[in-house]
A and B are shown apart, each in its own frame.
Chain A
């Protein structure tokens, strides 16, 4: 499925990603008020990684609620993504976005590495805060609730357990790595408009793969693997580490929207050749 933050600004964009073969999609994260985000350059790419510091630019929950109406027409699951500065904020946005709309699930990114007041910069991924935020949102929605964690922290398993205890239905593992930075040597300035940003792309795949493996061992709820997946074989590897589902984002830079259809095709082919009739046998296969 499509990871949050890429393409998911409008219902039409989501529809197109689904038509390209994605089994589902997560919308761009929505806050209470509209946000313009950080100045450009907000996304750069070099070699096998991207760095982004979009800064949660979004239209705010009032407009987003209209934008994502009548999602049933898209015929595949669309997942809401909500951010907040406090547990109450998260609950307010989730309640507002999902009321009267056809979202299939809710994802809470507690793990953005480049936006002051949110994510890792506000300590939202500590086990305590993960519990508080998850519990607050659990109170306002019956939809499946996924908590998106950061690959940065040492105790990922603890944060995942806290989310599970607070009633989460799954863990999305995870957000971009870092933050990282690049310096323009001619002008001695940071390249990113915000100075730094989250690192994504194929270069972070090994780190996120290990994180998925850690979370799989720590909790009983399903894990959604995300981070540097660019092919069907990457997705299979992510599933063997413990992912029930896999998200793609930066791969679109390297391969275009076709990456969704191509990855599915590659998975089917590999599974057929290697005697797998269902993905169920792939999930957590490395753990025996």
Chain B
């Protein structure tokens, strides 16, 4: 975990007071999922995140789902009051960005990406930089699949079988890891119970993995202490964790903390 290659430099190019951008366009992606596109430049390495501020409302962490020479974007799933308000924002509305924070994925030729639901949003910029990437996209139903058009070659999985294979992302993952063309690395983001299963399968197959996690944050830069995960901090040590470092973490796949700092079971989460 203290491998400098995976650690975010404390003083990177981060700005910890919001820089403002106006929404250029809003694009529906899937059921309850929308991408807000902005014109302009932000420093970013795939896997990092920005604290995204909707003035007068609140501020939450988001990875960039689009990042190129013209602009950048964030992909939002409507969960609570903030994501609802953000997903309703219109062209021309001001949105603030503080960051970038956290560490990043390791870009590896031939890597396998496993995205559950809106977890695809934090993987997509890494996919775009990866040669010969293989991709598994999962969702509860066909309507919830994120970026299926953007990554037309991806293997699709839905809980109800309404698109692609019926079941969970772990099925095609297991097959690919059992096959003759084992990927050198698995990168995954999605609901934590899914990530816990991905970690188990990768460990059994002796394939390294990097998992991007989410916790409630006040600051995003290693001060407030709220995103504590066992003896780690998601903003300070992550959000990308190597599977081998999570395996013994007492909170991973088990518990999270509420705004008050109270530890609660992950299964009580509405995520």
A residues touching B (Cβ–Cβ < 8 Å)?
6-10, 12-13, 15-16, 28, 34-37, 39-46, 50, 52, 54, 57-60, 63, 67, 182, 184, 186-187, 189, 191, 193, 249-250, 252-256
Contact = CB atoms under 8 A, between A and B. Distances in A.
B190 to A, nearest CB: 24
Nearest to A14: B225
Contacts of A184: 18, 20, 55, 96
A75 to B, nearest CB: 15
B10 interface: yes
Given A9-B228, A46-B17, A40 B223 contact: no
B10 A256 contact: yes
Which secondary structure characterizes the binding site on chain B? Answer: loop
14 contacts: A6-B225, A10-B225, A28-B225, A34-B261, A37-B218, A42-B224, A43-B16, A44-B16, A52-B223, A60-B260, A60-B262, A63-B261, A63-B262, A256-B10
B221 A40 contact: no
Nearest to B96: A184
A34 B53 contact: no
A206 to B, nearest CB: 22
B16 A13 contact: no
A59 B262 contact: yes
Contacts of B219: 42-43, 52
B225 A40 contact: no
Given A186-B94, A253-B221, 16 more contacts: A6-B225, A9-B225, A9-B228, A12-B231, A13-B225, A40-B51, A40-B218, A41-B18, A44-B16, A52-B223, A57-B260, A63-B263, A193-B58, A193-B59, A254-B11, A255-B10
B223 A41 contact: no
Contacts of A15: 231
A102 to B, nearest CB: 19
Contacts of A43: 16, 218-219, 221, 223-224
Interface in B1-52: 10-11, 16-18, 20, 51
Contacts of A58: 260-261
Interface residues of B, number: 36
B260 A7 contact: no
B80 interface: no
A34 B260 contact: yes
A87 to B, nearest CB: 24
Interface in B220-254: 221-226, 228, 230-231, 233
Contacts of A52: 219, 223-224
Contacts of B263: 10, 59, 63, 67
A34 B58 contact: no
B148 interface: no
A187 B57 CA distance: 12
B109 interface: no
A188 to B, nearest CB: 9
B78 interface: no
Contacts of A252: 222-223
A45 B221 contact: yes
Contacts of B230: 12
A36 B257 contact: no
A186 B40 CA distance: 16
Contacts of A39: 57-59
B55 to A, nearest CB: 4
B87 interface: no
A28 B261 contact: yes
A189 B224 CA distance: 23
A111 to B, nearest CB: 18
B56 to A, nearest CB: 6
A40 B262 contact: no
- Which of A10, A45, A193 is most buried by chain B, counting CB atoms within 10 A of its CB? A10
Interface in B184-230: 218-219, 221-226, 228, 230
